[in-house]
Each structure stands twice: as C-alpha cells, then as structure tokens.
Structure 1
Amino acid sequence: MLTAFARAFKTPDLRKKLLFTLGIIVLFRLGAHVPVPGIDYKNVQECMDQAEAQQGLFGLVNMFSGGALLQITIFALGIMPYITASIILQLLTVVIPRLEALKKEGQSGQAKITQYTRYLTVALAILQGTGLVATARSGSLFQNCTVGNDIVPDQSIFVTITMVLTMTAGTALVMWLGELVTDRGIGNGMSILMFVSIAAGFPSALWAIRQQGKIMDGWLEFSLVIVCGLAMVALVVFVEQAQRRIPVQYAKRMIGRRSYGGTSTYIPLKVNQAGVIPVIFASSLLYIPALIAQFSGSDSEWATWIENNFVTGDHPVYIVTYFLLIVFFAFFYVAISFNPEEVADNMKKYGGFIPGIRAGRPTAEYLSYVLNRITWPGSLYLGLIALVPTVALVTLNANQNFPFGGTSILIIVGVGLETVKQIESQLQQRHYEGFLR
C-alpha cells in the first residue's frame, strides 16, 4: 500500500489530484473551527468541558460534521443536509414518474436531478440551521451546563437570521468543495469529506476511553478497544467485499459476416447491498420521538417513557427497536434500489440468460430469491455492527462516540476501499506493463 502511494506521488497528474484533495480537506477542517457570528465561543467551550452533550439527539449530525455541530461553527451542519437530500431524491425517483424518466435520460437527466438535490440541500440546511439556533438559544443543546443559556447572548431577530444564513452558506460551501474534489481530485468528494469528518473524532474518542479506564491508568481498556477495532475493520472489509456472482451467458448472433455475443459475464450481488443507508434511516427515525418529547415540554407519562427508553440509547426497548428497524430498512432499500424485473428485461433484450433459468419472468423470480437470501445475513450484520457502540456504552462505560462501530466504521471502511480502488486503477492506466516494456 505504501509503495502504491509513493508511485502515485511520483506521477505528476496524480500528484496534483492528491495535493488538491488534501488542500480541500485542510480548508474543510479549518472551517469546522470558525465559530458562527453571534456565538459566545468561550461559553461553548466551557459547556463542552463541563457538560455532557446530548449525543442521543445530535450525535449523528455531530459525527458527520466532524464535531463542528456542538461547537456551532460555520460548517456546523456539515454534509448531513446533502446526504438527506440525496436519499430523499433517490426515494422519490421510485415514486414520481417525472424523476424516473429523468434518471433514464442519461447524463442530462442526472444533471437535472443533481440540481434538484442542491436546491433541496439548501432548503434542508435552512430548516436544520433554524432548529440548531433555536436549540442553542433555549440552552438545551448541553445538559447540566451552568452557562448553557448564555451561548447566544444576543437573541435578536437580526442575529438569529445571520446565524442561520451563515450555517446555510457553510453547507453550500461544503457541497461545492465536495463537487470540486469529485471533478479535480481523487474519489467521490462528498464521501471523502464524510470520511474526514468521521475520522477527525477518532483521536478524541480513543483518548476519552483511556481517561475513563480504571485498569493500568486506562491503557488496558485502550489496547482492548484498538484490538477490537482492528478485528471489526477486518470483518467489515470481508463482508463489504463479499458478493454472490450470478453467471450470465449471452447468445451468439450472426449479423452479416460478423458474429456478436457469445460472451459470459456475471451479475455481482453484494451481501450488504443496502450499504449504510438502513443504519441512517433507523437512527433518524428513532430520534423523532425523542425530539417530540423534548420540544413538547410536557411532563406526561408518554414523554417520560420516551425519555427513559429512547434518549439514553442503552435501554433494551431501544436496542430491540433499533435492530429491527435496521433489518426492515435493509430489505426496504434493497427492494427499491435493485429491480429484478428490470434486470431480467434488459438481459432478455440483449440476448442474455442465466444458465438453467428461462429468460423473462423465471429470471426475475430467481434474482429475487437469491437477493432475499443474501439480504438476510447482510441485514443481521448491519444490525450487529450498529449495536457495537451501545455494547461499549454498557461494558466500558464509554460515551456514545465510541469510534469502532455503527455508522462510522461502515462509512470509513467503504470510502477507504473505494478511494484506494480508484488510485490503483489510475496507477494501472499509467504504469501498465505489457509484453513490451
């Protein structure tokens, strides 16, 4: 791996792309530490030192922003509005015929869908920014903080609008930086920025585990977490690379004096076909009852029950519900993202067939059968990986920012694998060794 990176930096155009990507990453991390106008940064830091943030409500967004959310910086919302907008557009593509027609138009249709995603990202950024400012003004962003109500000293309308517009502009800038990396850098820009945001919280989370440890000044717990983390990375890499290959044979056709087809290929069906989307869906859905209970301000029995069972994150009701939601959303997302009937029709149109399976409806039924069988282990794997931070919360008494587990490890491993594959493919194009050297 180190040799591959050394060869990449020796290639002039690849070196430019890598340095450009690193420059965007540095700029992105600098913006994550610039406070929003109207915030008392000293009080924010004091609250972060003495109080425990409500990770159950804001942990997911804070993770995707690289810790910028709780510091209320210009990149506080990070890339989360863009991720939400992309998921919404992807779901609406299945429901709205106009978007489905745009998706089939090729590059021009995809450009329009991308433009719609940008508009929706800005709208979601305004909505989320307003919610974050309102939470900061009310003093409920931090628990047990003596200066929590003084985070926003001036609560006038002008200052509030300025804060919301600043965070919205920061989200638009993050989106633009990600597109620049995609066009002129290495890898998918949004994925790279997401990778950087999550990886930025690893050192502090690991060091917090060492400080909370009691055996050998916490070094034993720290070492165990590192060993478990490496084992989990190996497991995630193994499962993410696992796939079921459905063989496909194309019939040989004679057109004039030329023969076409006669080739054999395969359809790769990944064990984790849904990726990290089910975990994000389940987490977002479980935050809704907690948010309703928090902002309702009532002391009724249902609000107390929700606060006791869903806010802490370690209650058995929360664990079982979280696991079942992940399994459900895994099947749901696979069903809308992979259409066996469409694949079977395309194969039949171009003369392809699965050996031993008739073309058309039998092929679609066979693909659905295989897809359902491999989605079961994939969904159970997602649920177990997502519950690792909860197990760590109970056993190690660690905070919910436990790095190795849940959404963080899935995204980091997935983005890392894709980026390394792109670097290797570009290296092979420039250093291809054939028969003649």
Structure 2
Amino acid sequence: MAFSDVFEHSIIRFLPEVTIPKKRINLKKRLIWSALMLVIYFILAELPVYGITGSQTDYFAGLRAIMAGENGSILTLGIGPVVTAGIIMQLLAGSDIIKFDLSSHKGKAMFQGTQKILAIALCFFEAAIWILGGAFGRTDNTFLIVFMILQLAIGGILVLLMDEVVTKWGFGSGISLFIAANVSQRVIWEAFSFAKSPINPDEFIGAVPAFIKSFISGQPVWIRGGILPDIIQVFFTIVVFLIVVYAEGMRLEIPLSYGKFRGARGRYPIKFLYASNIPVILAAALFANVQLFARILVSRGINWLGTFNEFGGPKSGLIYYLTPPHSIEVLINEPIRAIIYLGIFIALCAMFSVLWIDLTGMGPKEVAKKLQGSGMQIPGFRRDIRILEKVLERYIPPITLMGGIFVGLLAAFADFTGALGTGTGILLTVGIVYRMYEELAKEQVSELMPGMRQFLG
C-alpha cells in the first residue's frame, strides 16, 4: 500500500470533519446556517480565556480587523492558523515541492486533508507562542499554561470547523464571513460610537459624533490625531468603498455561442479582480506570522527580524517594514518605510493571485473545460477545447496579475490614509459583501432555472 493510501486511511479519515449534505440545500436553509455560524462566532469572541494573569498584549493588533476573533477570548487566534495553512500548502503545491493531482477527487482530498492537519497543528503552535510569549501575562503554573494553550487551540479548531459548516451547508466562505462581520463591527464602532474615550472623557470614540460635537461648538475638528478616529478617516473609508465597488464591476467579456442551438449567444465575464480579495488575505496573514516568528526570536534574545516597543508594536528591523503606516502623518514622516512595505505587499499580492487561480481551478485550462462541457464555443472558430484555452490564456493570466497588483495597491493606500477598520479590512469587506451579493443572485437564478446550475457552478 502506497504512503498516500496509508496517510489517507489512517490519519485523514480520523480528522474532525463536517459532512457534505446528501442533497442540495435550498437558499433559505443555507442562509440560516450561515447566520447561525455568525452568531456562534460572536458568542465565542466574547468568551474570555480562563487563566489570564496580567495585562494583555495583542500580537495581531495591527491586523486584528482582518484576522478576526477578539484578543483575550477563545477566538484570539482568529482565522490565523487556517489561512496560514492555506498559504503554506499553496506554496508547497505551487512549487511542486509536494505534488498533488488536483484534477482527481483523491488528489483534492489529500490536499484538503493535509491542509487541515497543518491548520490544527498551527492552532497549537500559535497558541503556545501566544501564551509562552507572555501575551496574557506570565505564570509559573504549568497546568494553567497548558490549559490556556488548549483553550486557544480549541478556539482555532472551532473556527476551522465553522468555516467548513458555512462552506458546505451555508452560503459563501466562513473565513470571508467572519472577516466581513469583524470589520463591519469595528467600522460601526469607530464611526458612530457615543462611548467616551478612556484617554479623554470629554471626547466621543466615534468619529461622526465627535465631529458633530466640535462643529456645533463652532470649532470643527477634522483631524484628532492619536488613536481616536476622525472624520477624515471616515472620508477615506467612503472613498475606498466606492473604488472597490467600481473595480468589482470591471470585467472583460468574451463572446460565446451555444453549439447545439444556432443563434444562441452569450458572454463569459473575466472580472478585473479575478482572484477577488484572496491575495490580500494571504499577504496579510503571512505578515502576521512573520511577526509571530519574530516574537519567538525576541523572547530568546535574538533580534534578527527586528524588535518591539513597550506596547508590543514593531520598533525596528524587517517586521517594522512589514507594518504599514496607519496615518498620513506617519506616511509623510517615514516615506522609506511606506515604499518598502508597498513594494513587498504588492509583490506578494501579485504572486498569491497567480498561485490562487492555478490551485482553485480558475486557470485557462480548467475554465475551457467547463465552457466546453456546457456546450459553449467562440463564434467563428470550430468547437475545439484547445482554441478556447488559447483564447483564455490571452486574458486570464494578465488580468489576474493586474488585479492582484491593484488590490495590493488599494489596500496599502487605504492603510496609509487610516481608513476605519484598517484599509485592508475595508477592502476585504466590500469585496466579500459584493461577492456574496453575486453568489446570492446566482443561487436565486439556479433555483428558478435548475438547468443553469451546471454552467453557473
């Protein structure tokens, strides 16, 4: 028996797994499942970790909006382990270090099973870094340390399983749903909260109430500075929102005809943001893990990747340049840092966008097979899959690359201007909501016209 067979039957089959529904679930039930997972997510995000002995340090502070979860809760690790496992598997499979036949059911099962094992292992690994690094204070009680690590790891595994529930029984992706919910919650809080600032009791936390108060007093404050959000950040949040909505609607349409019915024509749309917001999620998760690794080294007195200040934020080294300036003021004062961050971030987004379409069946070859199987062909050409593939190769790879560069540039711009919920978070949330709207429309069409399901996917 081959190693792959042993691995599949002795390890993968015993992993916790959400079963696939035996029959197609209607849209209403899928929405209910998604809403249920979202409610559970918010409940777990408010459930504190037992055993915290001191002040808390959020290692994902700058990326918390897109890492989801809540520091100090069971979901402290958020989507970190799941996304990190995805990054590692993409890099290993994309570089052929580990070969998977993703065209076969067995190959896909092996890939997904290996990724799940890696995600579970990372839940324990990142939990250990969090606790042993002193993020929740330090204690000599070994039992308490192990118990806190176990709590965080279980939280990460629950996120993994909830993502599976949403993917198989719900609507869309669980990871995307949790990011959108987390960012939306933060944006609403930072924009409209009437709570008083702990730093200045005379100030509202929310940017809009604070601006209205200052405007009524006759001295409108456009920029508050410090950590409190202001009306300028609200403005840039709206700008980023509008740009993303416009970009989501940009597409190139390839004319198609239906071979079996003369005169029947259609178009295959190739969206400008072909890889969606996935490249940004992967790049941000990679930065977060570099920071975690740097903290391991710093805790051992090794400063190869940089150092941290007394508040836990990056202070110097590579990790400093992998953290974006979160305000225009910092951007002006530290242009070199901004340029280095921008270059690395855009390069990663471009790379991940290309890898993503290759590993998820969105490349020219796979799309050509799908169109051929649906009976579609390009007008003026004979019905040949090689012709379809050749035409798609002229458009899909360059559009994917340009889209990856664009989302990286836009996310960095939003971060530099201090958009609420972090710029990257806003970019992701708008893209996620837009995609959910499209998927909702697709589901409605497929329920009204079941014959279209094969073509719509």
Structure 1 length-normalised TM: 0.70
CA deviation after TM superposition for structure 1 residue 201, in Å: 2.3
Match of 1:320 among 339, 356, 369: 339
Say whether the 8 Å CA contact 1:36–1:74 is kept in structure 2. yes
Match of 2:234 among 219, 226, 239: 226
Match of 1:385 among 410, 423, 432: 410
Aligned to 1:104, what secondary structure does the other structure show? coil
Name the aligned partner's letter for residue 122 of structure 2: L
CA 1:387–1:96: 2 relative to 1, 3 Å:
closer
CA deviation after TM superposition for structure 1 residue 18, in Å: 3.6
Match of 1:297 among 281, 301, 318: 301
1:23 equivalenced with 2:50 (yes/no): no
| Number of aligned residue pairs | 378
CA deviation after TM superposition for structure 1 residue 123, in Å: 0.6
1:349 & 1:13 partners in 2: Cα distance?
Answer: 28
1:241 equivalenced with 2:241 (yes/no): no
Aligned to 2:417, what secondary structure does the other structure show? helix
2:33 & 2:366 partners in 1: Cα distance?
Answer: 39
Aligned to 1:35, what secondary structure does the other structure show? coil
What do residues 205-252 of structure 1 show as CA deviations (whole Å, max 9, x unaligned)?
3354639879548775544433432332121022123221233457x5
1:329 equivalenced with 2:348 (yes/no): yes
1:16 & 1:310 partners in 2: Cα distance?
Answer: 45
Match of 2:174 among 189, 202, 212: 189
CA 1:249–1:184: 2 relative to 1, 3 Å:
closer
1:19 & 1:281 partners in 2: Cα distance?
Answer: 28
Please show how residues 8-407 of structure 1 align to structure 2 within 5 Å: 15-40=28-53, 43-44=54-55, 58-59=60-61, 62-66=64-68, 68-69=70-71, 71=72, 73-96=73-96, 100-101=100-101, 103-106=102-105, 109-135=107-133, 137=134, 141=135, 151-152=136-137, 154-206=139-191, 207=193, 208=205, 210=207, 216=215, 220=222, 222-248=230-256, 264-284=265-285, 286=287, 288=290, 291=294, 294-295=298-299, 297=301, 305-306=316-317, 309-310=320-321, 313-314=324-325, 315-338=334-357, 342=365, 346=369, 367-371=392-396, 373-375=398-400, 377-393=402-418, 402-403=420-421, 405-406=423-424
Name the aligned partner's letter for residue 270 of structure 1: K
Aligned to 1:246, what secondary structure does the other structure show? strand
CA deviation after TM superposition for structure 1 residue 418, in Å: 2.8
What do residues 284-315 of structure 1 show as CA deviations (whole Å, max 9, x unaligned)?
55553792674463679976751795376333
Say whether the 8 Å CA contact 2:252–2:271 is kept in structure 1. yes
Say whether the 8 Å CA contact 1:76–1:167 is kept in structure 2. yes
2:352 & 2:139 partners in 1: Cα distance?
Answer: 44
**Larger helix fraction of residues:** 1
Aligned to 1:126, what secondary structure does the other structure show? helix
Structure 2 length-normalised TM: 0.67
What do residues 70-96 of structure 1 show as CA deviations (whole Å, max 9, x unaligned)?
x2x211112221122223333433344
Match of 2:433 among 393, 409, 416: 416
Aligned to 1:201, what secondary structure does the other structure show? helix
Say whether the 8 Å CA contact 1:232–1:404 is kept in structure 2. no
1:193 & 1:282 partners in 2: Cα distance?
Answer: 18
CA 1:236–1:153: 2 relative to 1, 3 Å:
same
Aligned to 1:387, what secondary structure does the other structure show? helix
Aligned to 2:155, what secondary structure does the other structure show? helix
Q: Structure 2 unaligned runs (5+)?
A: 1-24, 194-204, 224-229, 308-314, 326-333, 450-457
1:325 & 1:74 partners in 2: Cα distance?
Answer: 32
Identity %, equivalent residues: 21
Aligned to 1:244, what secondary structure does the other structure show? strand
Say whether the 8 Å CA contact 2:60–2:67 is kept in structure 1. no
Say whether the 8 Å CA contact 1:245–1:267 is kept in structure 2. yes
2:346 & 2:439 partners in 1: Cα distance?
Answer: 31
Name the aligned partner's letter for residue 131 of structure 1: I
CA deviation after TM superposition for structure 1 residue 30, in Å: 1.4
2:108 & 2:403 partners in 1: Cα distance?
Answer: 29
CA deviation after TM superposition for structure 1 residue 99, in Å: 5.0
